[in-house]
Amino acid sequence: MRQLIGSLVIILLTTACDRVNDPIVAPGANNGGGTGGEVVTRKVLLEDFTGHRCNNCPAAARVAQQLHGVYGEDLIVVGVHCTETFAAPVSPPNANGSYATDFRTAAGNAYESALGIFFLPNGAVNRKRFNNSITLAVGAWSSAVADAMGQEPDLHIWFSQLQHNATDHTVSAEVKVAVLNPIEGDHNLTIYLTEDSVVDWQYDSEAEPNDVPNYVHRHVLRDNLNGAWGAPLVVGSAAAGDTITLNYTNFQMDPAWNPAHCALVAYAHNLDTYEVIQAEERGFQH
């Protein structure tokens, strides 16, 4: 099976090696729930920085989906639309209503500035430096993801509760984090709200015609439950065996978002280096 995965990664872009560690067992389910006693893996977060007016971004999104097909739930993909040039609505408006949606978010704008996103498509894999850079051209995604897979997890994150109120268009969540190995340095927990399968316009250089009115945007970042950089999770250090609980209540959603396609993504990251050390995703329809 591992040989098959390796072959698929080679087909996608380039050669890379997997690392295998002994599985770790901790409380909470491996699929974002929480039933106890499941094997914990260190999941990988691929942030696809993209835009609906970026002609090469659809090809990058297809690479992200291919990688997701290889690694399954161990790879969490989020499409972060950013930059005035590529993610803002066209101005003045087009007569046919194309590119009228503003896909940008406050968090995406913050990451564009902090991470130095100067071109699209672009990406980050656990926001870890790969070839001496946090942001990566699409040609490096496969190798960076393969390099990140199989590492020993220092944290286990799971959603112990998630409730969507269809009447009020709100979502509430309780997130638990178990410390598996000692943690040094300040770390925050950020929670994304994403919506999958958003049908809207997209400029695609590989399509004919290039302007696609019914393009399916995947894993779209809609908002953050706790700001661009999240809330404190570890201040200074944390010992193995610690468990931290964070609660978020009645976060207001846009009524236009389809809850059947929505999910929360929680990830812990180092405040100094930006590196993501663990992530978890749970769909509303769990």
Q: What tens digit of pLDDT does each residue of 84-129 get?
A: 999 999 999 999 999 999 999 999 999 999 999 999 999 999 999 9
Q: Name the DSSP class of 262.
A: E
Query: How far apart are alpha carbons 250 and 255 in whole angstroms?
Result: 14
Segment 39-53, tens digit of pLDDT: 899 999 999 999 999
Report the share of the chain in percent with pLDDT over 90. Answer: 86
**Per-residue model confidence (pLDDT) at position 34:** 53
Q: What is the pLDDT of residue 149?
A: 97
Q: What are phi and psi of 263, to 5 degrees?
A: -150, 160
The Cα–Cα gap between 147 and 144 comes to 5
3-state secondary structure labels for all residues of 8-66: HHHHHCCCCCCCCCCCEECCCCCCCCCCCCCEECCCEEEEEEECCCCCCHHHHHHHHHH
The answer, yes or no, to whether residue 187 has pLDDT greater than 90, is yes
Nearest to 173 by CA among 77, 283, 21, 17: 283
Structure token digits, residue 137 = 């051209």
- What one-character DSSP code corresponds to residue 130? B
Whose CA is closest to 260, among 234, 286, 230, 236?
286
Q: Tell me the whole-structure pTM to 2 decimals.
A: 0.88
Taking residues 254-275, what's their average pLDDT? 98
End-to-end CA distance of the chain: 28
pLDDT of residue 32: 67
Domains located in the chain, CATH noted: 2-283 (2.60.40.10)
Confidence check: pLDDT of 19 > 70: no
- How far is it, in rounded angstroms, from Cα 190 to Cα 221? 13
Check residue 6 and give its pLDDT. Answer: 40
Q: Phi and psi (nearest 5°) for 228? A: -60, -35
Q: Please state whether beta strands 243-252 and 183-184 pair in parallel, antiparallel, or not at all (unpaired).
A: unpaired
